[in-house]
Chains A and B, each alone.
Chain A
Amino acid sequence: MSSAKRYDPSKKRTTSLTGILLYLLPSPILLAIIISFFTQNSISIIKYSISYGLFFLGAKVAKKGFDYEKVYQNSALAKAPRLPYKTIGATIISFATFFTSMSLANSFVFSLILAFCSLFGFYLFYGFDPREDKIGDLKVGVRAEDIIDITTKAESKVNSLKDLRKELLNREAKDDLDLIIKETESIINSIKEDPNDLSKARKFFNIYLDRTYDITKEFVKNLKRGNITNELEDRYKKLLLSMKNVIKEQKDKLNDDDILSLDIQMEALVNQLNQEGV
């Protein structure tokens, strides 16, 4: 069983403006650099440029962390960011605060306090990075990495199929592929809802979906070159039809198992009630 906890997205703000404050707060330093240019104060230019550069770098890294967090929050299954970008960004900003304060000839202790305040303030306002993979309770033998990898790859294949569909000219093939795309998305969602079903859909994702994608890609490539004969088009349509059947079987397989599980649970409860004489 996985001990992963669900991440609560409602507690963190993730708009495209997140982190803008980190660029705005050091803007007086940018003004100081411009003034230093006019007064030709080269020491100030260097000093303030390093300060602003550090603040800018910190904000940039933190922004990357916010973007990762947004993706993490919007996905039912997600890996925690590989690098703790928000924490790294906060540390850089904290160092920038320390460096700027020291360069202004403030005392070491005072600079250290300011640096700590910026780090702690960042933590309270933005929070640090999500560190745990977002996954439900898993059966023994089902690995979170496999589920995330397979569903992410499948989603990417589905998106590519959507693009390829636009290139198809035959209305019937277009409709069939559209149905395949929609049904595949529904299978992906059902795996996300119940990751323990992955073993039953693994073959579908790894073989059937991959092959359909490869063949569709080749088909579209040849269609653009004008190499597609009527015979090839018919064979492609037959392939899509077979894929539709495979998808139907796959969905039945996923549903049957749920029904079987419900049936077993009901039977077990009835037996227990009978034994207890209810």
Chain B
Amino acid sequence: MSEKRDKTKELFGLILLFLSVGFVSLESLFRLLGD
């Protein structure tokens, strides 16, 4: 049960990292390409 909770926590952390760092990085690239 605890292991499952840890996995969920890690997955949530990974999603947050993608949504924040991944988002600004891709936004930087697409803004440049859009200009």
Contact = CB atoms under 8 A, between A and B. Distances in A.
A32 B16 contact: no
Given A21-B17, A124-B13, 11 more contacts: A35-B29, A36-B32, A48-B32, A101-B27, A104-B27, A114-B23, A118-B20, A118-B21, A121-B14, A121-B15, A121-B16
B25 to A, nearest CB: 4
Contact of B21 (A26, A31, A35, A36): A26
Contacts of B15: 121
B28 A118 contact: no
Contacts of B12: 121, 124
A147 interface: no
A101 B28 CA distance: 8
A126 interface: yes
Interface in A103-152: 104, 114-115, 117-118, 120-126
B1 interface: no
Contact of A121 (B13, B27, B32): B13
- B contact patch SS: helix
A51 interface: yes
A104 B28 contact: yes
- B interface bracket (residues with beta carbon within 8 Å of A): 20 to 34
A25 B18 CA distance: 7
Nearest to A13: B10
Contacts of B4: none
A125 B12 CA distance: 8
Most buried by B among A31, A32, A51, A126: A32
Contact of B29 (A32, A97, A114, A120): A32
Given A118-B21, A124-B12, A124-B16, A28 B6 contact: no
Nearest to A111: B24
Contact of B25 (A21, A28, A41): A28
A76 interface: no
Given A11-B6, A122-B13, A124-B9, A117 B28 contact: no
Contacts of B25: 25-29, 55, 100
Interface string A253-276: 000000000000000000000000
Nearest to B21: A25
15 contacts: A25-B18, A26-B25, A27-B25, A28-B26, A32-B28, A32-B32, A35-B33, A51-B28, A97-B21, A118-B17, A118-B20, A120-B13, A120-B16, A121-B20, A123-B13
